[in-house]
Amino acid sequence: MHMLAAVAAGLLLCASDHPLRLWWLQLVALVPFWYALAHRPANRSAWPLGTLLGLGYAAPLVMSAGAAAPILVAAGANVRG
């Protein structure tokens, strides 16, 4: 659930950027990420959530630009649940 919230925050940030330009989504885009950080287990690190936020934001932008998918696979392979 926490990882999905981090990805959802990244997707909301991506939707607020090019090409959709839904700027008002920036006002609420980080709320799911803050929820994931606040409710993660105490013994878990926060960096996987930040990585998933970044992938949720960057992956659609990279794909829409036509860049190679292996970049996304390499970045996603480093995230462990």
With vertex at residue 12, the alpha carbon angle to CA 51 and CA 9, rounded to the nearest 5 degrees, is 40
Cα-trace Rg, the chain? 13
Residue 71 counted as domain residue = yes
- Over range 14-24, report the average pLDDT: 85
Domain that residue 37 falls in = 2-76
Contact 53, 9 (CB under 8 A): yes
pTM: 0.76
Residue 81 counted as domain residue = no
What total number of domains does the chain contain?
1
Tell me: the pLDDT tens digits for 36-52?
999 998 888 889 999 99
Q: What is the pLDDT of residue 9?
A: 95
Contact 72, 62 (CB under 8 A): yes
Of the candidates 76, 77, 38, the one whose C-alpha atom is nearest the C-alpha of residue 59 is: 76
